[in-house]
Every structure is written in C-alpha cells, then in structure tokens.
Amino acid sequence: MAEQTEAVHGTWSNRWIFILAATGSAVGLGNIWKFPYITGENGGGAFVLLYLVCIVLVGIPIMMGEVLIGRRGKLSPMESMRTLAKEAGASRLWRFVGWMGAIAGFLILSYYSVIAGWALIYVYRLGSGQLDGIGAVESEAMFNDLLADPVTLGLLHTAFMVMTMVVVARGVNKGIESAIRVLMPTLFVLLIVLLGYSLNSGGFEEGAKFLFTFDFSKLSGESVLVAMGHAFFTLSLGMGAIMVYGAYMPKDASIASTVVTVAALDTLVALAAGLAIFPIVFANNMEPSAGPGLMFVTLPVAFGQMAGGTIFGALFFLLVTFAAWSSSISLIEPLVAWCVEKSIASRPVVAAVLGLITWTLGIGTVLSFNEWSDVEFLLGKNFFDSIDYLTANIMLPLGGLLIAIFAGWSMRRSTVQKELNMDSFLLYNLWTVVVRLVAPTAVIVVVVWTLFQDQIVAILGLE
C-alpha cells in the first residue's frame, strides 16, 4: 500500500524547506520577464485581481492535487502514479502521466539552461563595467552578437548545467535542501536590495502606476485566458517537479496552507520583480517590454546609464541566475529520482549521465539562435521553438489536466481526505468541486485557445 511506502530519497527537514523548494521551482524567468509586463498591459491592479482569482481556481487546486499524489506515493512521479493507480483500482496507464511530466521537465531544462546561461555572462558584463554608458543600439548589437556565437552560448550552457547537476547529485538533503537554504534567502535579499535601488531611481511612481493602476477597460476575454494560462504555468505544474518535491514533504505538514503560501510567495516575487524593473525602465525614458528584449537589451542600457548601475545591474542578473538555478534543479529531479529507485546507478552517476544527455539536447537550442535558425523541426518551427511549443502548449497543460482528474476522480475519497487533512469539511468539498470541474475546464479552454486561436478568431469574426 502507498501509505506503507518509505520515502527512499529522504524528507525535507521541515515544512518551510518544502515551501522554499516549491517556491524556488515556481519562481523563474517567467516571473521576472513576463508577469510584470502582462500585468501592466492588461489593466494593472485589475489584472492582478483577475490573476489571483485564477490562482485560486486553477493553480492552487491542481497544485494541491499534485502535492498530495507525491506525498502519498513518496516516490518519483512515475512510481507514485503507478502505485496510487493500483491502490485506487484504476488503470495502469496513469503511470504515463508521471512519465510525461518528467520528460517535459527534462526537455524544458535542455533549453532553460541555455537561456539561464545568458544571465551568467551579463553578471560579468555589468559587474566589469562593460556596459557603462551603453546605448540601445549598442546593447541590442551586443546581445545579437552573443546569440550568433554558438561557442560562447555552448560554454555558458555547460556552466549552468554543471551548476544544476552538482546540486542534484548530492541528494535531497545534502544537495537540493542545502542549496535551497542558500539560494532562496539570497534571492529574497537581492530582490529587496534591488527594490530599494528602484525606489530611488526617479521612476518608481510611474513604474508602480504601470503595474497597479486599476484599469478595467484593458481587461478583455483574452486577458482572462492570459491570467489563467500564467496561473497554471507559474507554479511549475504538470512537469513532475511539484509532485516529486511533495514526495519529500513531511507527513504532518498541511498541504492546503503550504500550497497557498507557495502561491502567495510566487506572486509576491513576480510583483516585486516588476517594482524593481519598471521604475528603472521609466526613469530612463524607455518603453516597457517583455521577454529577452527587456532583460538583455533594455535593462543593461538602463543600468549602464544610472549611478550605481554597475553594481546593481550585476546584482540583478545574479538574482535572475539564482531564480533560474532554483527552478532548474526541480526540472531534472523526477528522472533522477526514478533512476535511483530502479537502482540503475548511484545518484551522482545518474545525475552526470542525465545531465550530459540534457546538455547534448540543449546544443540544439544553442544552434537554434544561429546555425540552425532556419532549420524547421515541428510545425515549421526551429529546434528551440519546437521544444518550447511541445512542452508549454501540449505536455504541461495535458499533464496538469490529468493530475486534476486523477486526484479529483480516480483516487479514493478516503485517501484524499487523509492526505489533505483539512479541518473544514466545507473547504474540502469546495476543493473537490474545483479540482473536478472548474480547474480542468479552465485548462481545456486555455489549451484550445492557445492551439487554435487564429481559427477561433476567424470563426467568431473577432478580427
């Protein structure tokens, strides 16, 4: 039975370590270069309220389901799903949900490592003063030159993969937990320092207005879909990371309150990142943007023009590196855990081999920005865009949807009640309704809109 299974990989020292680990998994590049921008573009405070509703109706219920599956199974996502499907008398095919999530995380890490490597070199570029007084044209040219250089990209990718696998190889307590104890508090401190710097930048009021002014006129049907989609993706759902971290969760920790805390911290970090970034952008009379353009073109110019920009610019990219590092650790852990469970090899050997395979796959992403930029792989997309499309638009939403269905419909009610251990029967029933009906419906709507947006717009005549 699942309740008699021992957590073979170890257990977090306490509930707060799980919270920090799960927050570390959730806080990544999307919090820093995407969420603040989509908030400003979709009504500021109005969008934040909408997003919080989506977190409550989509993110938290599915995350609770994923954590309870992990803690009940106490194993890798693949073995936890297999064990719990057997316990519930459900189909053995459910184990493939664990496999899909683990493979999605593996694929994401292969390109995430490449992008995180960009932050590494910008820590050096800002800290060494290379970007002092740089203009927008020069900054864009410097970034484009980086993308066009496969050797440098490959070396940065290698460095970041080594950073990740060294932590994973040391195990749950000596490796991941020890790293999280340093990474997450440091990340929070760096964010507070940068907020203080931003407060004195001269553009704080304008940045805060961009993020928090309640403009309900900017909310649209697409804003709802954007909020639902980000609420799902920001919590690292559907890739096995939260499930495997749940397997290491102490038995006496409350799943509901812990998950709510993680969601709150993830949202706070995203909003704080916006307050740290956009005042600097506005203080330098620049246009706000999202994605790599904001991170590696606009911000270096802003830091290069400001007093203290050399130091605080380097600290900012150190923050980005730490956020990416804490996320990358969780992406590969499900596959590493499964290999260790199957006694394929020792954890250090497994980590080294899987790291090498991930690194090799990541070379495809490195080349996608230069030598292979015009080579098509999936749906007319290059290698990087194909992997990103496959994972973000298909594998992760499908994984989250199936987790909600399994936790809400397939697991025994007595098992779910025991794991959640919620004092309020009303809240338990509310969670059951949401995870069975509301969350799956929302995920399906987001997936259909994402995959068939052009066709839907044409059919409904919305153009």
Write down the H helix ranges in 214-298: 221-233, 241-247, 255-283, 292-293
Task: State the pLDDT at residue 1.
Answer: 46
Q: Nearest CA to 409 among 171, 88, 190? A: 88
Q: Are 164 and 183 in contact (CB under 8 A)?
A: no
The type of residue at 433 is V
For the segment 347-364, the average pLDDT, to the nearest whole number, is 98
- What is the chain's mean pLDDT, rounded? 92
pLDDT tens for 12-60 read: 999 999 999 999 999 988 888 888 888 988 889 999 999 999 999 999 9
Q: What is the pLDDT of residues 424-453, one digit of tens each?
A: 889 999 999 999 999 999 999 988 988 888
User: What integer pLDDT is reported at residue 5 of this predicted model?
Assistant: 47
- Tokens for 185, please give them: 């508090």
pLDDT for the residue 462 = 60
Q: Please check the confidence at residue 275 and state whether its pLDDT lies above 80.
A: yes
Closest CA to 32 of 289, 212, 269: 269
Distance CA 32, CA 11 (A): 30
- Which residues lie across from 44 on neighbouring strands? 214
Q: Is the pLDDT of residue 2 over 60?
A: no
Buried b vs exposed e over 355-369: b needs ≥16 C-beta within 10 Å? Answer: beebbebbbbbbbbb
* pTM of this structure: 0.93
What does the alpha-carbon distance between residue 166 and residue 348 come to, in Å, rounded to a whole number? 8
For the chain, the residue count is 463
Please give the domain boundaries of the chain with CATH numbers for all domains. Answer: 2-460 (1.20.1740)
Produce one character per residue of 175-206: b if its CB has 16 or more CB atoms within 10 Å, e if not. Answer: bbbebbeebbeebbebbebbeebbbebebbeb
